[in-house]
Every structure is written in structure tokens, then in C-alpha cells.
Amino acid sequence: MEYRTLGESDLSVSVITFGAWAAGGWMWGGTERQGAIDAIKASYDLGVTSIDTAPVYGQGTSEEIVGEAIKGIPRDKVQILTKYGMRWDLAKGDFGFKSQDNSGNPIDVYKYSGKESIIKECEDSLKRLGTDYIDLYQMHWPDVTTPIEESMEAVLRLIEQGKVRQAGVSNYNVDQMKQAEKVLKLASNQVPFSMINRGIENELVPYCIENKKAILAYSPMERGLLTGKIKPGHTFAEGDHRAGYRFFKEENIEHTDEFLQKIKPLADSKGASLSQLVIRWTIERPGITVALVGARNAEQAVQNAKAIDISLSAEDIDFINQQLEELELV
């Protein structure tokens, strides 16, 4: 495995980080708890020491699974990345969206990051995770109802108390990052990035490179689309959010599949799967520090971790980029 330091912090993480959104089941058509635990353990055995989760993933389920999976591992050998600022149990702040929990009960999700809420969320996360500190604590989504400075002051207190090591944000733009930095030093920003979703390269990536901020790329597999396993006509399970997600429009599935078939011979020549080629390409992109990759079982987790074994030459990367330029999505 390879490891990189987040920005100018003292926190080193595995470049392939376990993304535990799907492990929580919520919005992914349910979860198989033991499978998720096995996936995290299998990842760790191959050097994936960093795990990214959030309270809202399964309304506590994902954090509980992570806590169970890391039991018995020396705490300083694993990095826990979690978040705050999305409440399903409190109608306060900026209304996000209507959803349902893993039992099918309706819930309303709010973006709220008031000071007292963050303190409570941190305590709840520590309990679910079975630990006394969080390595990277990230604002999940911007909350327009709370001044950014107030939220960051709460995190600063948590750092002073030893409950949080480093502060990060997620889904922030450049101006929001600058505002947050008036209060504390950010280690990172976690944002969506994939071969077919590269909007952050315009402003955010140059800013983060110049200011030594790490970028944690989430959904690098574009929620499974770039694995090559989702073909035109695919049917999603009930409760799977991808059915209404723009990249899964039939036409986009077709065009993406055509692109993947063009780069498949390159993957084959390296004895790699398409997924492994995509992961390796992602962590080679300028400014991208880490790729967050999820897995539902140990086998998937092992395949993801082994992407680190692939070597891409400048010519390989140029070839992939050339095929991407010809890809048109609606």
C-alpha cells in the first residue's frame, strides 16, 4: 500500500481508503452487516488502514460497523475519518431531502452544524465507533443557516480536547474553505471526483495544490458505473438511489460502457480489472490525495486494495485521457 500525508497535517492515510457509505445500507438497497465487517478487515490486512464513514450512513449503522470491524486492531494503526452536520433526528438548519431509513421508515435529513450540535454528534460518533478520538472530522455538507466560523470553532474545541486530530470539510468550494481557514487549519476537502465527473479540476484542485490541502475523492467508481458490471438495461434494487442519478441514465450507461471497452485491453495487459485501472488512474491525478472506495464483501475489498499493484506509465495515462475526451454524456 502507499500512504500520503493530508495537507500539512501530521495525519498519514492509505491512498486507497475504505469508503463505508454503502456499508451502512442507507440509499444502497440495504446492507449485509457481516459482509461489510469482513470487507473492512480484508482491506486492513492489505494495508488499507483508513476508513471513511459518517453518522447519516444508515443513521449510525455504518459507524457501528466500522467500530465493530476495528476491534482488536491497535488504535494507532487505523485512521478513522468521519463527519458531522447531517441530522435525521433533529429538524433544524437547512432542510436537505426526504429519505427513509433501513427499515423503510420515512426520515427528513437536515444540514445543520450549530456548535452544540457538533459537540453532541462527536460524542455520539465516538460511542458508535468505540474510540476516544477521531483522526479526521469533516463537515459533511455546507450549512447555510450557521456561520462557517461557528462550526469551525466547535471543531477547534474538540481538537483542543483531544477528541479530534485534524479538521476537514466535504463538498466545500474554494470560498468556503477560505472562510473556514480563518478559524483553523484544514487538512483536506472530500469531494466527488471520477473519470466522468471532473468538475473540481477547474478551481478546487488548483487551489488545493497551491495551498497544500489534500483532496479525498469520493465516488471514484461513479457509484459502481465504472466497474464495467453495470450494463444497459440494468435494474436497481428498491431503495437504491442510483436509479435516479444522472450518470445512470440509459444513454450514459451505454456511452460509459463503450468507453470502458476501449480501455479494457489496457487493463487486461496489466492483469487488472477495470475497477483496479480506474482506481489507479484516480490516485495518479494531480491534486488527488486519496480515493475512497467502498466494498460490500471481502472479495471486493481485496480487489480494490490490489489496485495499488498496478503501474501506469505516462503513455498509459495519456491513452486513457484521450479516450475520456471522446466520451460524451448527457
Q: Which residues are catalytic?
A: 57
Q: E strands of the chain, at which residues?
A: 3-5, 12-14, 16-19, 50-52, 79-84, 86-87, 94-100, 106-111, 134-139, 164-170, 186-192, 214-218, 290-293
Nearest to 111 by CA among 65, 64, 171, 157: 171
Residue 98's CB is within 10 A of a number of other CB atoms, namely: 9
325 sits in the region (left: phi over 0; alpha: psi -120 to 50; else beta) called alpha
For helices 274-284 and 250-269, what crossing angle results, to 10°?
A: 90
Q: What is the three-state SS of 21-63?
A: CHHHCCCECCCCHHHHHHHHHHHHHCCCCEEECCCCCCCCHHH
Cβ contact 62:53 at 8 Å: yes
Integer Cα distance of 251 and 225 in angstroms? 13
Looking at residue 282, its amino acid is T
According to DSSP, residue 239 is labeled: T
Integer Cα distance of 58 and 40 in angstroms? 17
Integer Cα distance of 101 and 215 in angstroms? 30
Looking at residue 181, its amino acid is E
